[in-house]
Amino acid sequence: MAVPMAHQPKPTLSIGKRFTDNGLLGVLAILIIGLLGYFLVPNNLALLTQIVAIALLVLSIDLVTGYCGVATLGHAALFGAGAYAAGIAAAHFGVTEPLTMTLIGLVGGALAGLVSGLVILRAHGLAQLVLSIAVIHLFHEAANKASGWTGGSDGLSAIMPDPIFGMFEFDLWGRTAYVYALLLLAVVFVALRLLVRSPFGMLARGVREDPIRIAAMGASAHSVVLRMYVISGAVAGIGGALSAISTQVVGLDSLSFTLSAEALVMLVLGGVGSLYGALIGTVVFMLFEDTLSAANPFHWLTIVGALLIAVVLFAPKGLYGTGLAVAGRLKRRPS
């Protein structure tokens, strides 16, 4: 949850409190559920790895939309930039060490975040949304035209990452990729937990609620959101790099409007403004998509649409937010 739990006036926090406050509980949950997935669906680890990559994109949208209140339908630009940065480094420059590729993806995403943030934050509301759509189309078109670098519509292939630490090869079953993905997600999650609870995280929430009040405190709302955009780009870029490393191709779909919109839908489904919501939304949406599209290839999108309408109408805070509210009500009732 975005809002820190009740603070003690005393600065010394108990170990138990530190444990929950720093999101260690969340990391444990991520690792346990992740490992459960490893053993439950050993033949579909590629899907699980892709879920983690998209989860990083959804977390990244949450940072700007959920925490700062920026409306965007162009966030895949940051994810795609990370994917292409890592992919181009590997395919054209022979940088095939996975950690370095991830780092390059992070930087590529952060730069894309800076550029799109500078454009999108010029406007507010509807105009901002339109600008974000323009940005994703421009990124998409640029990648399409620069086919010498990106492979254009054929996609960028020939990405052959080295074994991690020279020891763990990326195997055919995707085990190494999945474990790497889980560890990346855990690290990013802890970092973001610290970020959203930090003074900067509070400022960001303030910007979302009332930028004029933030200015009246002497802070610049624009600079807060722009910084958040760069961080968000870094997170999405890691997701993109992970996708490039695990699938060994980068396609134009990683820079598409469709992916941007789907990721936003996942966030709304899970619950805007909370890291847990972003994770839950991604997992539920992508598992749903996978199961339904196999079970009913003709109508699965209709069912996804109906599910989304149901969530927006009956659980506007998303699955996580509504779950919390229900849990809170149940807790209060007996006392």
Partner 1 sequence: MTNLLDVQSLRKNFGGLAVTNNVSMAMAPGDRVALIGPNGAGKTTFINLVTGNLQPDEGRVLLVGEDVTERKSAERVRRGLVRSFQVTRLFYDMTPEEHVALAVLQREGTAGQMFGHYARRMAVMEEVGEILDQLGLTELRTLKVREIAYGQQRLLEIAMAMALKPKVLLLDEPAAGVPQSETNRIERALDSLSPELAVLMIDHDMDLVFRFATRVIVLAAGTIIFDGLPKDVTQDQRVREAYLGSYANAGTAA
In the complex, the residues that contact partner 1 under the rule CB under 8 A are 2-4, 6-13, 21, 194-195, 197-203, 205-206, 209-210, 212-220, 224, 227
> CA-to-CA distance for 95 and 248, rounded, in angstroms?
13
d(CA 149, CA 89): 10
Of 11 and 297, the one with the shorter C-beta distance to partner 1 is 11
Nearer to partner 1, 133 or 230 (CB): 230
CB of 311 to partner 1, least distance (A): 21
* CA 204 distance to own-chain centroid: 17
Residue placing its CB nearer to partner 1 in the complex, 21 or 290: 21
Residue number with CB closer to partner 1 (6 or 294):
6
Closest approach of partner 1 to the CB of residue 195, in Å? 6
**Cβ nearer to partner 1, comparing 145 with 213:** 213
Cβ–Cβ < 8 Å for 197, 74: no
Nearest distance from C-beta of residue 313 to partner 1, angstroms? 22
Q: How far is the CB of 3 from partner 1 (least distance, A)?
A: 6
Q: Which is nearer to partner 1, 18 or 92 (CB)?
A: 18
Q: Which is nearer to partner 1, 161 or 318 (by Cβ)?
A: 318
Q: How far is the CB of 272 from partner 1 (least distance, A)?
A: 12
Smallest separation (angstroms) from partner 1 to the CB of 276:
16
CB of residue 8 to partner 1, shortest distance in Å: 7
* Nearest CA-CA partner of 70 in 118, 26, 27, 24: 118
Helix-, strand-, coil-residue percentages of the chain, each rounded to 5: 75, 0, 25
Burial class (CB in 10 A: 0-12, 13-18, 19+), 83: buried
Strand partners, 250: 156
CA atoms of 190 and 26, how far apart (whole Å): 8
Residue 181: exposed, middle, or buried by beta-carbon count in 10 A (0-12, 13-18, 19+)? buried
Residue number with CB closer to partner 1 (54 or 204): 204
Rounded CA-CA distance 20/237 in Å is 28
Q: How many angstroms separate the CA atoms of 103 and 211, rounded? A: 33
Q: What is the DSSP letter of 239?
A: H
Cα–Cα dist 169/150, whole Å: 25
Smallest distance from partner 1 to CB 317, Å: 12
Phi (first) and psi of residue 164, to 5 degrees: -70, 130
